[in-house]
Amino acid sequence: MEEFEIFDDYLNDKMTFEKRLGFEQQLLENPALKLSFNDYKVALELLRFQGLKNEVEKSNKEYQNRKESKFSFPTIKIAALIIFGLLTFSTFWINLTEGVDLLENVPIAYIEPNQRGNAEEKQHAEFLYLTKDYEGLIKLYDSSNEPTEKLEFLTAMAYFNEKDYNKVLELIEKLELRSKTNVYKNEIEFYKCQSLIGLNKYAEAEGMIQKMEETNPYKSTFDWIYIAKIKILAWKESFF
Amino acid sequence: MTLYLASKEKEILSKLKSNSELNTCLKYLYKEYFGFLEGMILNNSGSKEDAEDVIQETFVALIQIIQNNKFKGESSLKSFLYAVAKNIWLGKLKKHKAEYMRANIWVESNPKFEADIQEQLSKNEALSLISNVLSTLGSVCKVILQKFYYEELSLKEILAFTDFENEQVLRNKKAKCMKSLTEKLNQQPHLKESLYKALRIF
């Protein structure tokens, strides 16, 4: 039996009582054995200490790694929160978007110019339009046997102000037939689109905007929010 | 909650004492006390790295004290850990006198267990100083000795981790490794002597 195994048996209490006494006697009588036994005990202490140290070091590494991964968690949380916030905001925005907003927040409105139309009719029709006598203007149009393009357009504008969008579209249709000389082309496109919005036909209105030529100054007044709102309303229209 | 903590603490202490599920116990200690002990070091002119080192040494000492039956539960585990960490940190600060003077303001000695802690820390310091001899051992020896004396595996179990033919060959190798280790310790007589003193081996 190796000397170390005897030491192990003694330290682990694996000796019989007699053997134990004998070993202790040997330790007292043999200084070399005593020294060897003490060195063995020191070596054991060292091995156990190092083993425990390694185990704690391992646990420390695991803990630090877990902590690091926890640190990245708030970033994910914040990102999720932002996405959730944006989704909530978008949902609210989509729900709150109504066609009325588009008509109320028109970025541009027609202003009657001085240089267009027949002089006599222009004076009367223009006066009625500028004084916002839309009913009078409509009566003038109804009583006119051969209304001019100018009267037809101003009447369409009168109907628009009266929110009778079907009539606006009816008159715009007539105006579109005068395509050769149509000086109100830009306005016709714009107000046709607005009337379609008034009639909750958002998909058609969106199509109108897309078809508008870039040279039409009315087109450039539609900002991205306005376009986004029409798109949302068109999307809602397809569902309900 | 306090009740749960108290019973959990009791369970951990009992496992540490019997040296079972050490990894689980360490996980618990890190989870429950790392932040608290780190705060103490950071508030007393220590860095995060200092805190990590001190806490590791604290847990090593705590486990040894518990296994040597020196922790009788007269105080909570938290207070005891605080006392161990405080002693370790002060020991380190002594090397930087100015900071030690400042840190001395916040310490409050607890004579109840201060002596036991100091004794264990002295042992660990002496062991640390001589621990470099282990790194001079061959890797096979390190594995065999660690598994046999620290993990307390049998030769039969260790055989699976090695290329040795049978237990007898492994037994002989283990004896050689142990002999080599004691010889290496004898090559550092001064460190060995202080270790003998710290371990009270005469």
A38 reaches B (C-beta below 8 A): yes
SS3 track for chain B: CHHHHHHHHHHHHHHHHCCCCHHHHHHHHHHHHHHHHHHHHHCCCCCHHHHHHHHHHHHHHHHHHHHCCCCCCCCCHHHHHHHHHHHHHHHHHCCCHHHHHHHCCCCCCCHHHHHHHHHHHHHHHHHHHHCHHHHCCCHHHHHHHHHHHHCCCCHHHHHCCCCCCCHHHHHHHHHHHHHHHHHHHHCCHHHHHHHHHHHCCC
In-domain check, residue B16: yes
Q: Which of B56, B127, B178 sits opposite A57 (nearest CB)?
A: B56
Do B25 and B85 belong to one domain? Answer: yes
Cβ of B149 within 8 Å of Cβ of A51? The answer is yes
Does B168 reside within a domain? Answer: yes
pLDDT at residue B30 in the model:
95
Contact check, Cβ <8 Å, B63/A57? no
Domain count, chain B: 2
Q: Which of A67, A176, A159, A157 is nearest to A111 (CA)?
A: A157
B138 and B193 inside one domain: yes
Residue with tokens 């830009």: A186
Please check the confidence at residue B104 and state whether its pLDDT lies above 70: no
Does B168 lie in the same domain as B106? no
Q: Are residues B144 and B88 in the same domain?
A: no
Domain assignment present for B55: yes
Choose the closest CB to A47 out of B27, B34, B149: B149
Do residue B99 and residue B176 come from a single domain? no
For residues B99 and B139, membership in a common domain is answered with no
Using the Cβ of A46 and the Cβ atoms of chain B, whether some distance falls under 8 Å is answered with: yes
Give residue-wise pLDDT tens across range A192-229: 888 998 888 888 888 888 888 888 888 877 788 888 88
Quick one: B23 and B59 in the same domain?
Answer: yes
Task: Give the percent of chain B with pLDDT over 90.
Answer: 51
Give a yes or no: residue B14 inside a domain.
yes
The confidence score (pLDDT) of residue B3 equals: 52
Contacting A with CB below 8 Å, chain B residues are 22-23, 26-27, 30-31, 34, 52, 55-56, 59-60, 63-64, 123-124, 127-128, 130-131, 133-134, 145-146, 149-151, 171, 174-175, 178-179, 181-182, 185-186, 192, 195-196, 199, 201
pLDDT in tens, B117-133: 888 999 999 899 888 88
Both B7 and B96 in one domain: the answer is yes
Pairs across A and B, CB distance < 8 A = 98
Tokens standing for A217?
Answer: 């100054």
Taking CB atoms and an 8 Å cutoff, what residues of chain B touch A40? Answer: 178, 182
The yes-or-no verdict on residue B98 having pLDDT over 70 is: no
The domain of B192 spans 133-199
Inter-chain contact B201–A57, Cβ cutoff 8 Å? no
Look at residue B122 and tell me if it is in a domain: no
Q: How far apart are CA B134 and CA A50, in angstroms?
A: 9
Q: Of B82, B112, B142, at which residue does a domain stop?
A: B112
Higher pLDDT, A70 or B163: B163
Q: How far apart are CA A41 and CA A3, in angstroms?
A: 13
Do residues A79 and B75 lie in contact, with contact meaning Cβ atoms separated by under 8 Å? Answer: no
Which pLDDT score is estimated for A183? Answer: 76
Please tell me the distance from the alpha carbon of residue A37 to that of residue A9, in angstroms, as a whole number.
12
**pLDDT at site A232:** 85
Q: Is B141 within the bounds of a domain?
A: yes
What pLDDT does B105 receive? Answer: 46
Give the pLDDT confidence of B55-82 residue by residue, as tens digits: 999 999 999 999 998 887 778 889 899 9
Note whether B138 and B56 are same-domain residues: no
Residue B49 has pLDDT above 60, yes or no: yes
A64 touches chain B (CB under 8 A): yes
Do B82 and B139 lie in a common domain? no
Domain-embedded: residue B82: yes
- What percentage of chain B reaches a pLDDT higher than 70? 89
What's the pLDDT at A129?
A: 85
**Whether residue B39 is found in the same domain as residue B80:** yes
**Calpha distance B52→B41 (Å, rounded):** 9
**Distance of alpha carbon B39 from its chain centroid, rounded?**
21
- Which chain B residue has its CA at the smallest distance from A28's CA? B202
| CATH for B173 | 1.10.10
Shared domain check, B105 and B169: no
Residue A91 identity (one-letter amino acid): T
Of the three residues B46, B79, B112, the one that is the final residue of a domain is: B112
Report the chain B residue with the minimal C-alpha distance to residue A44.
B149
Where residue B58 sits, what CATH number does that domain have? 1.10.1740
Which residue, of B81, B112, B143, is where some domain finishes?
B112
Query: What mean pLDDT value characterizes chain B?
Result: 86
Q: Residue range B96-119: average pLDDT?
A: 65
Residues 6 or more apart in contact with residue B149 via CB below 8 angstroms: A44, A47, A48, A51
Can you give the pLDDT of all 240 residues of chain A as single tens digits?
678 889 989 998 899 999 999 999 999 999 999 999 999 999 999 999 999 999 999 999 999 988 877 666 677 788 888 898 888 887 777 777 776 777 776 666 666 655 555 555 567 888 888 888 899 999 999 998 888 888 888 999 999 988 899 999 999 888 888 766 567 888 888 888 889 988 888 888 888 888 888 888 888 777 888 888 888 888 887 776
> What is the arithmetic mean of pLDDT over B152-178?
92
Would you say residue B126 lies in a domain? Answer: no
